[in-house]
Amino acid sequence: MADTTKQFDPRPWYLLSPALFAITLMIVVPMCFILIYSFYENIDLAVDRVAFQFGNWQELFTDNYYHYAIWKTLYMAVIVTVIAAVLGYIPAYYIVHTKFKHKWLLLLLLIMPFWVSFIIRTLSWIHIMGNQGAINGVLIWLGIIDQPLSMMFNEFAVIVGFIHVFLPFMILNVYVSLDGVDRNLEPAARTLGCTPWQAFREVTLPLSLPGLGAGCLLVFVLTAGSYVTPLILGGPGDFLFGNLIYDAVITELNWPMGATLSFALLVILGVVVVLYSRLMGLNQLYKAFE
């Protein structure tokens, strides 16, 4: 008994206290608070009343508009995640196995997009796919079309924008995982009679799944929580759940509904994260930074 008290060392807690205090006050408490606030009643623009009523939640559960938004958000997040996985896996594999002398350059370029402004990267697609964009310019110049094709401000443009911004997360995570796989395993499988494809499918792919999983989780959660990309690249019908929150808080000034929607999004994505961590553990998520 005396021994355990002797072993207690308060020093790490001194060091941790500022960060833990800040996180508790600014993340944990507000997250609990929006649950309480979701029972408040909205009276008028930016005016609400302390109450305990389920009106906001009832609206969320009964109004088809919200159901559609949830469905659309999950659907977009799945599409973006799957495409990012397919696009990202092969370059990660290439970077790991290339004998190219300046491999560091490929890796640096991979981290570079994190430094380039998100909004600039997003709006750059207007230059590529817009009516005065590069694709239309080239097609008109070649004489293939004479009216610009309308490619912007629709679901496709939003998906492209998301993938462009989140792809580096995917490649980096897969890279970290693939880099840790023993290089001798694939040749060993080959000598035991595997075709190259079999060796990849049976040995390398399963070993890289933690990284692929971590990349998928990140891309899924980031996509499902966004609202800016649809505002810039989407049309009026392209909204995600985050856009409803934006509308409720910024446009309608209906704070209790904003709190309700935020908490709902937190729960939906929380379920995804918990399911994932049961399956894979969260450790892999940190590895990409090392």
Partner 1 sequence: MSVWHLIKGYTIAVYFFMFAPVAVVLLLAFNSSQFGGFPIEGFSLHWFYALAENEAIVRAFKTSLALGFCTALLATSLGILASLALVRYPFRGKEFITTLLISPVLVPETVLAVGLLIFLRWLSIPRSFLLLLLGHTMIALPFVVLVVQARLVGIRKEYEEAARSLGANPVQTFFQITLPLVMPAAFAGALFAFTISFDNITATIFWRPSGTETVPTQIFGMLRNSVSPEINALGFVMIVITVGVPVLFGSLARFYFRRRRA
> By CB under 8 A, what part of segment 31-90 binds partner 1?
31, 33-34, 37, 87-88, 90
Residues contacting 185, CB < 8 A, separation 6+: 203, 204, 207
> What is the contact mask toward partner 1 in residues 255 to 284, using x (rule: CB under 8 A)?
x--xx--xx-xx--x---x--------x--
Tally helices (H) and strands (E) across the chain. Answer: 16, 2
Closest approach of Cβ 231 to partner 1, in Å?
8
Work out whether 149 is an interface residue with partner 1 (CB under 8 A).
no
Closest approach of Cβ 228 to partner 1, in Å?
6
Work out whether 215 is an interface residue with partner 1 (CB under 8 A).
no
Asked if residues 225 and 179 have their Cβ atoms less than 8 Å apart, the reply is: no
> What is the contact mask toward partner 1 in residues 98 to 117, using x (rule: CB under 8 A)?
x-------x--x--xxxxxx
- Residue (of 212, 238, 214) closest to 226 by Cα position: 238
Q: Indicate the residue among 11 and 101 with the shorter CB distance to partner 1.
A: 11
Asked if residues 77 and 225 have their Cβ atoms less than 8 Å apart, the reply is: no
Query: What span, in angstroms and rounded, lies between the C-alpha atoms of 251 and 234?
Result: 18
Residues contacting 4, CB < 8 A, separation 6+: none
* From 16-24, 55-63, 183-191, 207-215, span contacting partner 1 (CB under 8 A): 16-24
* From 14-22, 53-61, 74-82, 180-188, span contacting partner 1 (CB under 8 A): 14-22
Determine which residue in the list 18, 143, 193, 236 makes contact with partner 1, applying CB under 8 A: 18
Identity of residue 148: P
Q: Indicate the residue among 151 and 232 with the shorter CB distance to partner 1.
A: 232
Query: What span, in angstroms and rounded, lies between the C-alpha atoms of 194 and 218?
Result: 33
Closest approach of Cβ 58 to partner 1, in Å?
20
Determine which residue in the list 47, 119, 145, 271 makes contact with partner 1, applying CB under 8 A: 119
Query: What span, in angstroms and rounded, lies between the C-alpha atoms of 161 and 232?
Result: 9
